[in-house]
Structure 1
Amino acid sequence: MTSNTRVVVIGAGLAGVRLARRLGELGVPALLVGEEEHRPYNRVLLAEVLAGRYAPEVIALPTPAGLTRARVSGIDRAERRVTCADGSVIAYDTLVLATGSNPVLPPLRGLFTTDGAELPEGVHAFRTMDDCLGLSKAVRPGMRAVVIGGGLLGVSAARALAQRGAQVVLAQQSERLMERQLDPGASGLVLRHLEELGVEVHTECRVRDVRCVGGAVRSVEMSDGYALDADLVVLACGVHPRVGLAQIAGLDVRKGVVVDDELRTSDPHIRAIGDCAQHADTVYGLATPALEQADVLAELLASEAGRSANASARYTGTRSLTRLTLAGQDFLDLAAFGEPTPRPGDDVIQLADATRGTYRKVVVRDDRLVGGVLVGELGTVGALARAWEGAEPLPSDGGPLLHLLTNDGGS
């Protein structure tokens, strides 16, 4: 089968779906190619599905009309066509790579089966809907679960498993949880939250070995020889851009697929957006930049197609705010933006309420808000984020900034 579509988008995640929908609104035909059998979904909310709070269909995205389910196996740049694993061929005028990212699988002894093809029974990555459904099916009250990785994904997974009744141990290699987003004070509140749910947290802890009996996991061994019994192991060690197709096609790939301000790769007929794209030496791996890139590219492609759109649209980077909202009875809400760790000479305003479990801190440099972190009661986050994004000088008396920190109606 051969089909001809002007714009072909590979990847039906947040970035690909957003682009296809925006192009449709602008009157540009687009074919979206996704390999997962599920309806496109919001990956950010997978932990809520694992926790049992949401059914899978609740986090589904509106599905564009032009969605084809197939796994793309190769790109022929000379002929401008892609080949799928089922043998079908799709021609394109413009190809967009929105291939996302893959989970990092750490080089642990015993992690892979003898043929290296799949993880042992009881060991799960946590990246896709299939991963989530597999974990949901496997978890049972009282079972021993070890989560490897204490970043955003690991914290979410550990909390979800604890809410399902598992005995959860979280092993984090660095000295504190979510160290990329949070400062020590906020990280400590996240630690307390997990411990109140019954999660046992080990920091500065390197996992060395996953031990299996009969092909099923039985324990996880640390570098100091200490072993944790495990019926279930979740790998939450981060992600890396999914760039295999781009590499085989000979595109410029470093950490991600290199793109310019028009999201154009080293091939003028191929663009890239989302987790797989590297813009100005940055791979974001976050939802907000992916959506912004999709919106900019939709405007550019619509303009090239002769539709009325913004031909001058450019992507110049995203000042993104990281927000984690874990709903339910044991509510946790946190946000971080910019640089929450001060440099020498920076001014810091910090408010903490141990009883309420709230923490607010902002960093000011040269009279400008450069970063902040908030945990609990985030009514001020909208106003603070706007002040940060605007990068405007703050009044010298500091009054308005203190008002932003303390006025819960500020968002």
Structure 2
Amino acid sequence: MSTRIVVVGGGTAGARLAQRLPVTLLGEEPHAPYNRVLLADVLAGRYGPEVIALPGTREPARLGVRAVRIDRAARTVECADGSLVGYDRLVLATGSAPVLPPLRGLRGTEPPSGVHPFRTLDDCLALRALVRPGTRAVVVGGGLLGVSAARALAALGAGVVLTQQGEHLMESQLDRTSSALLQEHLEARGVEVHTECRVSGLRRHRGAVTAVELADGYVLDADVVILACGVRPRVALARDAGLEVRRGVVVDDELRTSDPYVHAIGDCAEHRDRVYGLAGPALDQADVLAELLTAEAEAEALGGTGSGSGTGRGPGSPAAPRYTGTRALTRLTLAGPAADTIDTLGTLDTLGPLDLATFGETTPTPGDDVVQLTDATRRAYRKVVVRGDRLVGGVLLGDLASVGTLARTWEGDEALPEDAPLLHLLTHDGGS
């Protein structure tokens, strides 16, 4: 392929594209691309950093290189080291950055020693160096990242307090029943959980964190504080270059930005008003873009006019690949996934023998049918939401034997059999 393709970002999406095409990959982190989904396992000591490395790229990546400016007229990327990298096609895969809450003791200053986000391998390694048995750790945020970090720290012997501002853990994915079971599982492993609990500030002494202040005046002593308050798309590079940005970098079905020579994929991309922030869609977008760029190169080799031509198999042609969206299921494997895969269902591995999966709409609307089974002895919970003849969402905890069939039915938007009782959806074959 003679087209010069430059990819900014060495995360899931950027690495996948670089595995499929010969590109120049600019990775801001000094580490080779790795599976971010498994960071909790590195923190817990289950895996070494080398185990979570992703498959190698087709061309050597430039690591530890931060892109600071895009010159769209000259089609160059300027890096922090002063180098310029020219491109024919630019792909932004800049990912997302942790949200840092506006806490007293954090705003406008360097974070106190011992305060860390939980997003990168360096974050993970820094925490590993700090935590010992008996370390007092407070995790701020009860979403997927916070739950993951809390249990990993508990596995290291730390005394962990998990604070969640919302009414229950993992509000975006779980209903109250499954969240309560997850909380019980965490507490059984030594994690102290506080919901409806707002953190207002940090205390420090000689530059190091000493405590977390809650809005109700309660104080939690802390040697380590982990900020797991969510993430937002990294769009500064795109915005400064004049590309259209809303929540993320706006792309069309060809994953093309407002500049026809620039694409965006992964956590930083906003497609049809949606930012996914999950591994599955990032991989899908990278695969579609690889096919599209290959098709463009083939069309140009056959005499096509390239980008925007609408001829042959180039952009604008009905034959060109399209990305129309991904229906991604979140799976939390609390026991130990294969370390060499990125599970498109999402993976959290820190809690011992407990599995949990969620997909679609877990909160029913008026007129929906809901089927749920609870097995208190086995701490298993299964629930599906059906709208008309379609499966629209579900939660499974403790027993995922039927998750494969349910996921295929949901992802394929398949009509349910008319004569099958809905209860069969929760059998081990998912009603198939």
**TM tier, shorter chain?**
over 0.9
Q: Using the alignment, how far apart are the partners of 1:141 and 1:346 within structure 2?
A: 48
Counterpart-to-counterpart distance in 2, 1:111 and 1:408: 50
The Cα RMSD (Å) is 1.8
1:85 aligns with 2:80: yes
For 1:84 and 1:349, the matched residues in 2 are separated by 54
SS of alignment partner, residue 398 of structure 1: coil
Equivalence for 1:393: 415
> What is the DSSP-based 3-state SS (H/G/I as helix, E as strand, rest coil) of the residue aligned with 1:305?
helix
Q: How does 1:53-202 map to 2 (within 5 A)?
A: 53-64=46-57, 65-69=59-63, 70-112=65-107, 116=109, 118-202=110-194
1:1-28 CA distance string (max 9 Å, x none) = xxx96100000111001111122xxxxx
| Corresponding letter in the other structure for 2:46 | R
Aligned to 2:322: 314
Match of 2:424? 403
1:371 aligned partner? 393
CA–CA distance in structure 2, aligned partners of residues 398 and 286 of structure 1: 33
Give CA deviations for 1:356-402 in whole Å, capped at 9, x if unaligned: 11111000011211000111121111100111122222123333x53
Larger mean Cα displacement after TM superposition, 309-318 or 75-84: 309-318
Of residues 288, 295, 303 in structure 1, which corresponds to 2:287?
295
The TM-score with structure 1 as length reference comes to 0.94
Q: Does 1:10 align with 2:11?
A: no
Partner Cα separation in structure 2 for residue 316 and residue 269 of structure 1: 20
- List per-residue Cα deviations over 1:20-57 (Å, max 9, x = no partner): 1122xxxxx31111011111100011011111111111
Q: What is the CA–CA distance in structure 2 between the aligned matches of 1:395 and 1:365, rounded to whole Å?
A: 13
Q: Which runs of 5+ in 1 are unaligned?
A: 24-28
TM-score for both structures, normalised by structure 2: 0.89
1:304 aligns with 2:296: yes
Asked if residue 210 in structure 1 is aligned to residue 218 in structure 2, the reply is: no
Other-structure match for 2:346: none
- Within 2, Cα distance between the matches of 1:128 and 1:349? 39
Partner in structure 1 of residue 44 of structure 2: 51
**Partner residue of 1:31 out of 17, 24, 35:** 24
In the TM superposition, what whole-angstrom CA distance separates every residue of 1:304-351 from its partner, at most 9, and x where no partner exists? 111799952111111110111122672221111010111111111101
Pick one of 20, 28, 35 that aligns with 2:18. Answer: 20
Change (3 A) 1:144 1:408: farther
Which of 383, 389, 399 is matched with 1:361 structurally?
383
Larger mean Cα displacement after TM superposition, 377-386 or 62-71: 62-71
| Paired-residue identity, % | 69
Q: Distance in 1 between matches of 2:366 and 2:56?
A: 49
Q: Distance in 2 between matches of 1:305 and 1:330?
A: 48
Indicate the larger mover: 322-331 or 153-162: 322-331
Q: Deviations over 1:52-91 (max 9, x none)?
A: 1111111100121231121111100000000111111100
Letter in 1 for 2:323: Y
- Separation of aligned partners in 2, 1:335 and 1:7: 37
Amino acid across the alignment from 1:131: D
Offset, 1:404: 3.9
CA distance in 2, matches of 1:195, 1:362: 26
In structure 1, the partner of 2:251 is 259
Offset at residue 409 of structure 1 (A): 8.6
Give distance in 2, aligned partners of 1:39 and 1:299.
24
Task: Measure, in 2, the Cα distance between the counterparts of 1:397 and 1:365.
Answer: 16
Query: Does the residue aligned with 1:352 lie in a helix, a strand or coil?
Result: strand
* 8 Å contact kept, 1:74–1:84: yes
1:154 maps to a residue whose letter is G
Mind listing any 5+ residue stretches in structure 2 that lack a counterpart? 302-312, 337-350
Structure 1: 4+ residue segments shifted above 4 A = 307-311, 408-411
Matched position secondary structure for 1:246: helix
Alpha-carbon deviation of 1:219?
A: 0.5
Question: 1:238 corresponds to which residue?
Answer: 230
2:82 maps to a residue whose letter is: G
The residue that corresponds to 2:348 in the other structure is none
